[in-house]
Amino acid sequence: MLAITIPTHTCVWNSAIPSVFDSAFDLSWIKNHLTDSMFQGTRDYNPKQMAIREKVFNTIVSCFKRHGAETIDTPVFELKETLTGKYGEDSKLIYDLKDQGGELLSLRYDLTVPFARYLAMNKITNIKRYHIAKVYRRDNPAMTRGRYREFYQCDFDIAGQYDAMIPDAECLKIVHEILSELDLGDFRIKVNDRRILDGMFAVCGVPDNMFRTICSTVDKLDKLPWEAVKNEMVNEKGLSEEAADQIGVYVGGMDLAERLLQDQKMCQSTQACAGLTDIKLLFSYLQLFQVTDKVVFDLSLARGLDYYTGIIYEAILTQAGVAPVAPETSNEAPTEECVTVGSVAGGGRYDGLVGMFDPKGRKVPCVGVSIGIERIFSIMEQKAEASTEKIRTTEVQVMVAAAQKNLLEERLRLITELWNAGIKAELMYKKSPKLLSQLQHCEESGIPLVAILGEQELKNGVVKLRNVATRDEVDISRADLIAEIKKRTSA
């Protein structure tokens, strides 16, 4: 096997590809075989798209920092055994790497398992951290829904022994803050507890060894109708029809929370009672955090990953703020220009994961949330395309321009002064550019100011500072120029 690295993408190629050490190796082979299908589920981003992404990242990081998080980083690949058995039925989506040095490696599937491994290896018992990085999944990509094989996750986690539901409530508060600030449209945060699910499965007659696989099926209720979910439980996974019908009683009602609190059968389960008690406590904290308007208790939420042990949650957009789309269960296909988006954030409590990597099995309670940046970006990109507002792809504050010919050296001297003062500036790479061309570049790029040099300005020791939007001009002494530019661009 030959691994060839191309900017932003790493692909594993088979032995049919000529060796780079072969004298007959021809780069045209790559050009001829570099098709879209080879990079299915990945994409390139142009400067405008990157400007939108950067804005979203800044919003998310600002929120994480506001809540006191510090950041870490981990390798893009892990030992295969580190990832195996942590993701339930989704483990089949892990990208395996060719064994090239005696170790079986895989690309990371998420940022949670590497975080747990990091805590165990470094014997860390308390940390509040965020991590933004790419993860990889051998999934069937759906570009119109913002689902890729290579994508970023933005994770916030709290590790440590704390009183119940306080860190969990803060994670939900963070999701609420981010989605509100990004202004994506109306959203809901669904909340459940794995212990309530397990208790429900037990009282419905689901065998213990089928809890996790039935949990993965229940998690599909946001995409499939109940009959399709029941069919998978009974005909594909071997659950009795009676047990499936019992599950349907609990996950099918609108007055779910009230009924569960009164349900004598559920109250016979110790696990379910503990989960319901924590749910009530969680909502009391969420009320103090002023986010209960967006949070709902939903027993159909299952979160298919195996490592969750308690509270789980998922944020969905109920109105994406973009063109309407047909739901996934509808017979009508969404139009190509519309973005159909599912979950945009999810997470929960995983108290047993760190102990899997600790030699002595020492547990570190953890709770966290992951923001689905790619799905959010799909919406932000479409909104930007529909808007008449111009997107700036640079942060240049001032263009250093010349009104006459043969002033390149003077422009270079001035721009050096501005750069040394921390001002974002640029100039055209021509000895004698036309003033009109320089001004047009500023208008097209959104540069707010132009510092114009001319023979008369040089004699008078001033620079003509032009406001690109209003076209107002004023002479500023060379000594006061830096302060004036900073004053005008400080906002």
Q: What CATH number should be reported for the domain holding residue 109?
A: 3.30.930.10
Instruction: Specify the 3-state DSSP secondary structure of 368.
Output: strand
406 or 264: whose pLDDT is higher?
Answer: 406
For residue 369, which amino acid is it?
V
DSSP, collapsed to helix, strand or coil, labels residue 49 as: helix
Query: CATH number, domain at 450?
Result: 3.40.50.800
Task: Please check whether residues 314 and 425 belong to one and the same domain.
Answer: no
Evaluate whether residue 33 is within a structural domain. no
Instruction: Identify whether the C-beta of residue 128 lies closer than 8 Å to the C-beta of residue 365.
Output: no
Do residues 306 and 426 both lie within one domain? no
| Beta-sheet pairing, 462-467 with 449-453 | antiparallel
Q: Are residues 311 and 437 in the same domain?
A: no
- Tally of CA atoms within 13 A in the half-sphere of 153 that contains its CB: 27
Any domain includes 34: no
Do residue 355 and residue 464 come from a single domain? Answer: no
* pLDDT on residue 116: 95
Model confidence pLDDT, tens digit, residues 42-81: 888 899 999 999 999 999 999 999 999 999 999 999 888 8
Same domain assignment for residues 70 and 174: yes
Range 419-432 burial, b when 16+ CB lie within 10 A, else e: eeeebebbbbeeee
Specify the pLDDT at position 301.
85
* pLDDT given at position 397: 96
Q: How far out from the chain centre does Cα 316 lie?
A: 14
Mean pLDDT of the region 206-232? 79
pLDDT for the residue 481: 96
What is the structure's pLDDT at 472?
95
Question: What Cα–Cα distance (Å) separates residue 237 from each residue in 229, 252, 365, 469, 479?
Answer: 11, 20, 32, 65, 78
99-119 burial code (b ≥16 CB/10 A, e <16)? eeeeeebbbbbbbbbbbbbbb
Name the token pair of 129: 């951290």
Same domain, yes or no: 455 and 432: yes
Average pLDDT over residues 218-235: 81
- Rounded distance, CA 115 to CA 110, Å? 9
* Domain total of the chain: 2
Same domain, 406 and 373: no
Tell me, yes or no, whether 298 and 433 share the same domain.
no
Predicted pLDDT at 215: 75
Please compute, for residue 424, the number of CA atoms within 13 A of its CA located in the half-sphere on the CB side: 9
Is the residue at 417 inside a domain? yes
pLDDT of 264 reads 76
- Residue 18 included in any domain: no
Higher pLDDT, 218 or 346: 346
Highest mean pLDDT among 73-82, 290-299, 310-319, 347-356: 347-356
Dmax (CA) of the chain: 94
Any domain includes 412: yes
How does strand 366-371 pair with strand 150-159? antiparallel
Residues 457 and 377 placed together within one structural domain of the fold: no
Residues contributing to the annotated binding site for L-histidine = 110-112, 137, 153, 157, 303, 307-308
Q: When comparing pLDDT for 37 and 207, which is higher?
A: 207
Specify whether 214 is located in the same domain as 247: yes
Q: Mean pLDDT across the stretch 195-201?
A: 83
Helices 241-251 and 211-218, packing angle to 10 deg: 50
Contacts of 401 (CB under 8 A, 6+ apart): 411, 427, 428, 433, 435, 438, 439, 450, 451, 452, 453
Instruction: Give a yes or no: residue 17 inside a domain.
Output: no
Which residues make Cβ contacts (< 8 Å) with residue 9, sequence separation at least 6?
39, 42, 150
- 242 lies in which domain range? 47-321+339-386
Q: Taking the chain, what is the end-to-end CA distance rounded to the nearest angstrom?
A: 54
Token pair in block for residue 137? 């999944």
Q: Between these two residues, 342 and 242, which has the higher pLDDT value?
A: 242
> Which CA distances in Å does 162 have to 168, 273, 310, 346, 424?
10, 20, 14, 21, 46
Q: State which H helix or E strand residue 113 sits in.
A: helix 112-121
Same domain, 361 and 477: no
> Using 50, 70 and 90 to split pLDDT, how confident is the model at 197?
confident
pLDDT of residue 142: 66
Annotate 190-208 with b (16+ C-beta within 10 A) or e (fewer): bbbbbbbbbbbbbbbebee
- Final residue before a domain boundary, out of 386, 408, 423: 386
98 and 163, same structural domain? yes
Length of the chain: 491
Which pLDDT value is given to residue 146?
Answer: 59
Mean pLDDT over 419-445 rounds to 95
Rounded to the nearest integer, the mean pLDDT of the chain is 82
The C-alpha atoms of residue 312 and residue 193 are separated, in whole angstroms, by: 5
Cβ-contact 347, 369 below 8 angstroms: yes
**Across 163-177, 179-193, 230-244, 396-410, least confident range:** 230-244
Does the residue 118 lie in any domain? yes
Q: Which residue has the tokens 């939903």?
A: 298
Q: What is the dihedral of CA 238, 240, 245, 249, to 10 degrees?
A: -90
**Quick one: pLDDT at residue 304?**
65
Does residue 145 have a pLDDT over 70? no
| 26 lies in some domain | no
Binding-site residues sit at 110-112, 137, 153, 157, 303, 307-308
pLDDT at residue 307 is higher than 50 = yes
Predicted local confidence at residue 476, as pLDDT: 95
Tell me the average pLDDT across 457-473.
Answer: 95
DSSP label at 204?
T
